Protein backbone atom coordinates (compact mmCIF):
# COMPACT_ATOMS: atom_id res chain seq x y z
CA UNK A 1 0.00 0.00 0.00
CA UNK A 2 2.94 2.34 0.50
CA UNK A 3 3.75 2.46 -3.22
CA UNK A 4 0.07 2.73 -4.15
CA UNK A 5 -0.43 5.71 -1.81
CA UNK A 6 2.41 7.66 -3.42
CA UNK A 7 1.18 6.71 -6.88
CA UNK A 8 -2.39 7.85 -6.11
CA UNK A 9 -1.16 11.16 -4.75
CA UNK A 10 0.96 11.86 -7.84
CA UNK A 11 -1.65 10.62 -10.32
CA UNK A 12 -4.35 12.79 -8.77
CA UNK A 13 -2.13 15.84 -9.15
CA UNK A 14 -1.24 15.03 -12.73
CA UNK A 15 -4.86 14.49 -13.74
CA UNK A 16 -6.11 17.60 -11.92
CA UNK A 17 -3.46 19.87 -13.41
CA UNK A 18 -3.92 18.43 -16.91
CA UNK A 19 -7.68 19.01 -16.69
CA UNK A 20 -7.20 22.55 -15.37
CA UNK A 21 -4.69 23.34 -18.11
CA UNK A 22 -6.96 21.91 -20.83
CA UNK A 23 -9.84 24.05 -19.55
CA UNK A 24 -7.66 27.16 -19.48
CA UNK A 25 -8.04 27.40 -15.71
CA UNK A 26 -5.16 29.22 -14.02
CA UNK A 27 -6.39 28.59 -10.47
CA UNK A 28 -5.04 25.73 -8.38
CA UNK A 29 -7.30 22.69 -8.89
CA UNK A 30 -8.79 20.74 -5.99
CA UNK A 31 -6.23 18.13 -4.97
CA UNK A 32 -6.15 15.16 -2.62
CA UNK A 33 -4.27 15.73 0.61
CA UNK A 34 -1.79 13.29 2.11
CA UNK A 35 -4.28 12.63 4.91
CA UNK A 36 -7.03 11.72 2.42
CA UNK A 37 -4.69 9.31 0.66
CA UNK A 38 -3.76 7.65 3.98
CA UNK A 39 -7.46 7.35 4.84
CA UNK A 40 -8.11 5.68 1.47
CA UNK A 41 -5.49 3.06 2.38
CA UNK A 42 -6.84 2.50 5.90
CA UNK A 43 -10.39 3.25 7.01
CA UNK A 44 -11.80 3.75 3.51
CA UNK A 45 -10.17 0.50 2.33
CA UNK A 46 -11.81 -1.29 5.26
CA UNK A 47 -15.12 0.39 4.39
CA UNK A 48 -14.97 -0.78 0.77
CA UNK A 49 -14.31 -4.33 2.02
CA UNK A 50 -17.22 -4.08 4.47
CA UNK A 51 -15.01 -4.57 7.53
CA UNK A 52 -14.73 -1.03 8.90
CA UNK A 53 -16.58 -2.16 12.03
CA UNK A 54 -13.58 -4.40 12.88
CA UNK A 55 -10.53 -2.73 11.36
CA UNK A 56 -9.21 0.26 9.44
CA UNK A 57 -8.73 2.64 12.35
CA UNK A 58 -7.24 2.56 15.83
CA UNK A 59 -10.46 2.43 17.82
CA UNK A 60 -11.44 0.70 21.06
CA UNK A 61 -13.13 -2.59 20.24
CA UNK A 62 -11.49 -3.05 16.84
CA UNK A 63 -8.78 -5.56 16.00
CA UNK A 64 -5.25 -4.51 16.83
CA UNK A 65 -4.07 -4.19 13.23
CA UNK A 66 -1.05 -1.90 13.40
CA UNK A 67 1.87 -1.03 11.15
CA UNK A 68 4.71 0.79 12.90
CA UNK A 69 7.07 2.68 10.63
CA UNK A 70 10.58 3.81 11.49
CA UNK A 71 11.09 7.53 11.14
CA UNK A 72 14.82 7.52 11.86
CA UNK A 73 16.10 6.18 8.54
CA UNK A 74 17.63 8.20 5.71
CA UNK A 75 14.47 8.27 3.58
CA UNK A 76 12.15 9.26 6.45
CA UNK A 77 14.26 11.51 8.69
CA UNK A 78 13.57 14.18 9.83
CA UNK A 79 9.84 13.66 10.20
CA UNK A 80 8.07 17.00 9.94
CA UNK A 81 4.59 15.70 9.08
CA UNK A 82 4.10 12.02 9.98
CA UNK A 83 1.19 11.50 7.56
CA UNK A 84 3.07 13.06 4.67
CA UNK A 85 6.16 11.02 5.55
CA UNK A 86 4.17 7.77 5.36
CA UNK A 87 2.50 8.68 2.05
CA UNK A 88 5.51 10.15 0.25
CA UNK A 89 8.72 8.79 1.73
CA UNK A 90 8.14 5.41 3.31
CA UNK A 91 8.79 2.06 1.68
CA UNK A 92 8.68 -1.52 2.94
CA UNK A 93 12.14 -1.44 4.52
CA UNK A 94 10.86 1.24 6.93
CA UNK A 95 8.19 -1.10 8.34
CA UNK A 96 9.43 -2.10 11.78
CA UNK A 97 6.43 -3.89 13.28
CA UNK A 98 3.17 -5.35 11.98
CA UNK A 99 0.46 -6.62 14.32
CA UNK A 100 -2.76 -8.18 13.01
CA UNK A 101 -5.60 -9.14 15.35
CA UNK A 102 -3.20 -8.74 18.28
CA UNK A 103 -0.58 -11.11 16.79
CA UNK A 104 2.88 -9.95 15.69
CA UNK A 105 3.68 -10.76 12.06
CA UNK A 106 6.78 -8.56 11.92
CA UNK A 107 8.81 -7.30 14.86
CA UNK A 108 12.03 -5.26 14.96
CA UNK A 109 12.08 -5.36 11.15
CA UNK A 110 11.99 -9.17 10.96
CA UNK A 111 9.10 -11.42 9.92
CA UNK A 112 7.79 -13.57 12.77
CA UNK A 113 7.07 -17.22 12.07
CA UNK A 114 7.31 -16.91 8.29
CA UNK A 115 8.66 -19.71 6.14
CA UNK A 116 10.15 -17.69 3.29
CA UNK A 117 12.17 -20.60 1.92
CA UNK A 118 9.03 -22.74 1.81
CA UNK A 119 7.07 -19.94 0.14
CA UNK A 120 9.83 -19.49 -2.44
CA UNK A 121 9.90 -23.23 -3.13
CA UNK A 122 6.10 -23.38 -3.56
CA UNK A 123 6.24 -20.43 -5.98
CA UNK A 124 8.96 -22.18 -7.99
CA UNK A 125 7.00 -25.43 -8.07
CA UNK A 126 3.95 -23.52 -9.26
CA UNK A 127 5.98 -21.86 -12.03
CA UNK A 128 7.38 -25.21 -13.12
CA UNK A 129 3.86 -26.66 -13.28
CA UNK A 130 2.49 -23.73 -15.28
CA UNK A 131 5.34 -23.86 -17.78
CA UNK A 132 5.02 -27.63 -18.18
CA UNK A 133 1.28 -27.49 -18.89
CA UNK A 134 1.11 -24.65 -21.38
CA UNK A 135 2.01 -24.47 -25.04
CA UNK A 136 3.01 -20.84 -24.75
CA UNK A 137 6.61 -20.51 -23.63
CA UNK A 138 7.67 -16.91 -23.09
CA UNK A 139 11.17 -16.09 -24.26
CA UNK A 140 12.08 -14.58 -20.89
CA UNK A 141 11.60 -17.78 -18.89
CA UNK A 142 14.76 -19.42 -17.70
CA UNK A 143 15.15 -22.58 -15.71
CA UNK A 144 15.09 -22.07 -11.98
CA UNK A 145 18.31 -21.47 -10.09
CA UNK A 146 19.47 -24.62 -8.25
CA UNK A 147 18.65 -24.86 -4.53
CA UNK A 148 22.28 -24.65 -3.41
CA UNK A 149 22.53 -21.12 -4.86
CA UNK A 150 20.21 -19.86 -2.07
CA UNK A 151 22.13 -21.38 0.83
Rounded to whole angstroms, the Cα distance separating 109 from 90 reads: 14
pTM of the model: 0.73
DSSP β-ladder status, 66-69 and 95-100: antiparallel
More confident residue, 29 or 118: 118
- The string of pLDDT tens digits covering residues 4-15 is 999 999 999 999
CATH class of this structure's domain 2-111: mainly beta
- The string of pLDDT tens digits covering residues 58-79 is 888 888 789 999 999 999 999 9
Average pLDDT over residues 95-116: 92
**Interior CA angle at 71 toward 65 and 101, to 5°?**
10
Question: What pLDDT is attached to residue 63?
Answer: 86
Amino acid sequence: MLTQMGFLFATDRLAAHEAAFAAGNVEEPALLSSRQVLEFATIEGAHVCGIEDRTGSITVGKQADLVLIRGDQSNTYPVIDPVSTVVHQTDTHNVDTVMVAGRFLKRDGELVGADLVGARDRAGTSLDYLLSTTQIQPNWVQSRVPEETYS
